[in-house]
Amino acid sequence: MTGEMCLGTSKAACFRSGKSPTAGLAPLLAARRDPPLLKPLKTAILATKPAESGERRIKKTGSRAMYATRTELMVVPGKARAWEAWWAKVSELGKAQQGFQAGTLLNSLSYPAKYVSLTLWESREAGRAFAKGEAFSAFFQATSVQELATLGRPQEAYDVLTRVMGEGQSAYASLIDWALDPRPENAASFERTRKEIFDLRKRRSRRYRRSWEAHPNSEHASTPTSGEGYEVVRQM
């Protein structure tokens, strides 16, 4: 499983159309004839789940973040503000952990009770050290997070393969899950074309649309991609 994340300064930065996100990510996942409305791109990340064998395919990304965790939760009605405050306190603890890079809290544009927490670390060891550390354990035991939210799906961890940084303050995000076909060199080709698209997107190049058309989703995955749009609630 491979994940793709886009953080942008507007809906158009991540969804291309800038229209209501209730239509999903169709404007992003399908090539269109009209020229893209290019807004500043803050961050684009390509990450993959570690192989079951333990082999790790990490590449230099131009930044130090090499490991990411993704936690999806459903917040109890009426507890959204309390949950966001709880997340901010946990992230402050994370910032004190050596190897912490960034934390982002997202709120689904389609399902208001759904939140996703993304955390970037310099290494898997740094992320695990925080999760097993005394500070996090003490805070978790002292607060009843179960009264605020429940897991929407098991927490997932990823090796960060590519990270392209831009300018601006992130306001919206898109998360896309890919199930690549197990063909020779398919993963390498996918990573190469995503990097090309990310770079074009960062520069707001008119070649961005042509690049999408040249590399349709079906080129790498016979299974349809799964994507969703989010509002950026907090960043650390």
Q: Which residues pair with 173 in a beta bridge?
A: 7, 230
Q: E strands within the chain? A: 2-8, 41-48, 67-75, 100-108, 114-121, 149-165, 172-178, 226-235
| Closest residue by Cα to residue 158 from 59, 236, 50 | 50
Say whether pLDDT at 146 is over 60.
yes
Domain count, the chain: 1
Please tell me the predicted confidence (pLDDT) of residue 15. Answer: 55
CATH number at residue 97: 3.30.70.100
Please check the confidence at residue 50 and state whether its pLDDT lies above 60: no
| Top-confidence range, 22-26, 75-79, 220-224 | 75-79
Mind listing the pLDDT tens digit for each residue in 185-222? Answer: 988 888 888 888 777 777 765 555 566 566 677 788 88
Determine whether 5 is exposed, middle or buried from the number of CB atoms within 10 Å of its CB (0-12, 13-18, 19+): buried
Q: What's the pLDDT at 17?
A: 39
Residue the block writes with tokens 């082999």: 55
CB 17 within 8 A of CB 185: no
Task: List the domain range (segments joined by +) for residue 52.
Answer: 2-235
**pLDDT higher than threshold 70 for residue 133:** yes
